[in-house]
Structure 1
Amino acid sequence: MSWKSKGVEPAWKSAFSRRLTLLLCIGCFSAGLLFSDRLWAVPEVKSLSRTTRVDDEMLKLVSGCDPTHKYLERESKDLYGEVSNTHHALQTLDKTISNLEMELAAARAAQESVLNGSPIENIKVPESNMKRKYLMVIGINTAFSSRKRRDSVRATWMPQGDRRKKLEEDKGIIIRFVIGHSATSGGILDKAIEAEDKRHRDFLRLEHVEGYLELSAKTKVYFATAVALWDADFYVKVDDDVHVNIATLGATLGRHREKSRVYIGCMKSGPVLAQKGVRYHEPEYWKFGEEGNKYFRHATGQLYAISKDLATYISINQHVLHKYANEDVSLGSWFIGLDAEHIDDRRLCCGTPPDCEWKAQAGNICVASFDWSCSGICKSAERMKEVHRRCGEGENALWTAAF
Structure 2
Amino acid sequence: MKAKGGAAGGERRPVLSRTILLLCACSFGLGMLFTDRFGAMPDLKSPVVAQRRRQEEELQVVSEDFVAKTKPSDDRDVMGEVAKTHEAIQYLDKSIATLQMELAARRSRHELLESADGVRQERKKAFVVIGINTAFSSKKRRDSVRETWMPQGEKLKKLEEEKGVVIRFMIGHSPASNSALDQAIDVEDAIHHDFLRLDHVEGYHKLSAKTKTFFSTAVASWDADFYVKVDDDVHVNLGMLLTTLGRHKLKPRVYIGCMKSGPVLSDNSKYHEPEFWKFGEDGNKYFRHATGQIYAISKDLATYISVNKPLLHKFANEDVSLGAWFIGLDVEHIDDRDMCCGTPPGQFLSVVIIYTMHVSEDLALTFHFWNGFDISDCEWKAQAGNACVASFDWRCSGVCNPVERLKDVHMRCGEGDEAIWSASF
TM over 0.5: yes
Q: Deviations over 1:233-285 (max 9, x none)?
A: 00000000000000100000000000110000000000000012x11000000
8 Å contact kept, 2:101–2:300: no
8 Å contact kept, 2:171–2:202: yes
The alignment partner of 1:325 has SS state of coil
Shift of 1:157: 0.4
8 Å contact kept, 1:124–1:229: no
Equivalent position to 1:200, from 192, 202, 210: 192
Equivalent position to 2:256, from 247, 256, 264: 264
Shift of 1:120: 4.1
Partner of 1:341: 332
The alignment partner of 1:352 has SS state of coil
Q: Counterparts of 1:242-321 in structure 2 under 5 Å?
A: 242-276=234-268, 278-321=269-312
Shift of 1:227: 0.6
2:131 counterpart of 1:139: yes
Partner of 1:176: 168
Structure 2 gap ranges (5+): 1-97, 345-375
Query: C-alpha distance in 2, partners of 1:145/1:304?
Result: 23
2:227 counterpart of 1:235: yes
Partner of 1:36: none
Partner of 1:402: 424
Q: Deviations over 1:73-125 (max 9, x none)?
A: xxxxxxxxxxxxxxxxxx99986762323445x66xx6xxxxxxxx848x998
Shift of 1:363: 2.4
Q: Which moved more, 1:94-103 or 1:343-352?
A: 94-103
Equivalent position to 1:327, from 301, 311, 318: 318
Query: C-alpha distance in 2, partners of 1:345/1:93?
Result: 28
Query: C-alpha distance in 2, partners of 1:321/1:350?
Result: 31
2:242 counterpart of 1:220: no
Query: C-alpha distance in 2, partners of 1:124/1:180?
Result: 26
CA RMSD in angstroms comes to 2.1
Equivalent position to 1:360, from 382, 400, 406: 382
1:263 is aligned with what amino acid?
Y
Change (3 A) 1:126 1:201: farther
Change (3 A) 1:210 1:230: same
Query: C-alpha distance in 2, partners of 1:334/1:93?
Result: 15
Q: Deviations over 1:151-175 (max 9, x none)?
A: 0000010000100011001111000
8 Å contact kept, 1:124–1:228: no
Query: C-alpha distance in 1, partners of 2:280/2:260?
Result: 18
Q: Deviations over 1:200-245 (max 9, x none)?
A: 0000000000000100000000000001100100000000000000
Equivalent position to 1:148, from 136, 140, 146: 140
Change (3 A) 1:378 1:125: farther
Q: Which moved more, 1:150-159 or 1:350-359?
A: 350-359
2:91 counterpart of 1:100: no
The alignment partner of 2:167 has SS state of strand
Return the structure number with greater strand share.
2
Query: C-alpha distance in 2, partners of 1:384/1:179?
Result: 21
Q: Deviations over 1:286-327 (max 9, x none)?
A: 000001100000000000000000000000001010000000
Partner of 1:7: none
Partner of 1:188: 180
The alignment partner of 1:319 has SS state of helix
Partner of 1:166: 158
Shift of 1:182: 0.2
Shift of 1:180: 0.2
Shift of 1:400: 1.6
Shift of 1:191: 0.3
The alignment partner of 1:177 has SS state of strand
8 Å contact kept, 2:235–2:409: yes
The alignment partner of 2:311 has SS state of coil
Shift of 1:184: 0.6
Query: C-alpha distance in 1, partners of 2:104/2:209?
Result: 26
User: TM-score normalised to the size of structure 1?
Assistant: 0.71
Work out the percentage of aligned pairs sharing the same amino acid. Answer: 68
Change (3 A) 1:175 1:195: same
Query: C-alpha distance in 1, partners of 2:236/2:313?
Result: 30
1:201 is aligned with what amino acid?
H
Bigger Rg, which one: 2
2:158 is aligned with what amino acid?
K
Query: C-alpha distance in 1, partners of 2:134/2:198?
Result: 12
Change (3 A) 1:295 1:125: farther
Query: C-alpha distance in 1, partners of 2:392/2:104?
Result: 38
2:143 is aligned with what amino acid?
D
1:343 is aligned with what amino acid?
I
The alignment partner of 1:133 has SS state of strand
Equivalent position to 1:375, from 397, 414, 422: 397
8 Å contact kept, 2:105–2:304: no
Change (3 A) 1:316 1:232: same
1:402 is aligned with what amino acid?
S
